[in-house]
Amino acid sequence: MANSFPTMRLRRLRCSQVMRDLLQEHTVSVNDLIYPIFVEEELDDFAPIESMPGIFRIPERKLDMAIKEIAAAGIKAVMTFGVSHHKDDTGSDAWNPNGLLARMIKRAKDAAPELMVISDTCFCEYTSHGHCGVIHGNDVHNDHTIENLAKQAVVAAEAGADMIAPSSMMDGQVTAIRSALDGNGFGGLPIMAYSSKFASAFYGPFRVAAGCDLDGDRKAYQMNPMNGREALRESDSDEAEGADILMVKPAMPYLDVLTQIRQRSLLPLAAYQVSGEYAMIKFAAQAGAIDEHRVVRESLGAIKRAGADLILTYFAMDIARQGF
């Protein structure tokens, strides 16, 4: 046979580890990761979340200790979720300057000032019904909810949050928050918008973790998982409203959406590898079906390759400790 066949020998560039390392296109470092944490008031001890092996609800009174450990491990940023014992029908504890949301931000910043604290800005963990805003009739009222989101964002900013991350999927939430922040002297505080948040079954373990079970569903405000074009509209609109960073959530099942937004917008793009994605990997590894560390690498690498600049992931501590 002639020497010229095959004409393309792609394997030349895979011949050794050094060659593969030289030519690797993407990597992940702890600098790209945000670690979501759950902080519960009136709790004495760290409480394991059974559906998320390795993740604990942190007692508010031990938050300093936990934050110091997280910072010492090399984590650069956390996203805070409160597990509230003071729920009401509007979620008002979230804009109480002495409420859980404000207290946990202050405590985290006091414990490790260099650790970035991003405040998840929503109501589902603070409302008695579990919806992401105020109910009027049988619907979450958009415009009333964004007024409350604006109040919550200012309280978070006053408590020392480094970034505001609105996740309730209300229309106009970025505008409302931006103008409230600007009007209260926080013009320099960035907004990372959960711009394409799907009504996903992959949030299952989170609902237990954050203690925010709800009757019904969020389909009237979160996006239909079957839609991709609509995610581009959501991203365009959040960008026009002044979002500094866009987000796609969940991550792995929506890599196509990530790629499309990456090609369309010049803003930094975040992806949230959610609780169900975490649980699937953990439980499959526990069952001996997959190699956890390799699958975590591959999944985070794929999310970067698809277009994410930053990744919210419950694996952040594992990566910080073991490397990528």
Give the binding site for ligand PBG (CB under 6 A).
Answer: 120, 122, 124, 132, 167, 203, 206, 218, 274-275
Among residues 76, 249, 282, 304, the one annotated as catalytic is 249
Contact 185, 212 (CB under 8 A): no
- Active-site residue 76, yes or no? no
Minimum Å distance from CB 285 to ligand PBG? 18
**Residue closer to ligand PBG (CB basis): 92 or 275:** 275
State which residue, 64 or 204, has the beta carbon closest to ligand PBG.
Answer: 204
Please, what is the minimum distance in Å from the beta carbon of residue 250 to ligand PBG?
Answer: 7
| Residue of this chain nearest to ligand PBG (CB atom) | 206
Q: Which helix (H) or strand (E) holds 34?
A: strand 33-40
The answer to whether the Cα torsion of 170, 174, 175, 178 is positive or negative is positive
Return the SS3 of 198.
strand
Least distance from C-beta 1 to ligand PBG, angstroms?
Answer: 55
CB atoms within 10 A of CB 307: 18
Which is closer to ligand PBG, CB of 13 or CB of 209?
Answer: 209
Smallest gap from residue 204 Cβ to ligand PBG (A): 7
Is 68 a known active-site residue? no
Peptide bond into 59 cis (omega under 30): no
- CA 235 – CA 196 distance, rounded (Å): 7
Q: Is 72 or 201 the residue whose CB approaches ligand PBG more closely? A: 201
Q: CA-CA distance, 55 to 103, in Å (whole number)?
A: 21
Catalytic residue ranges: 197, 249
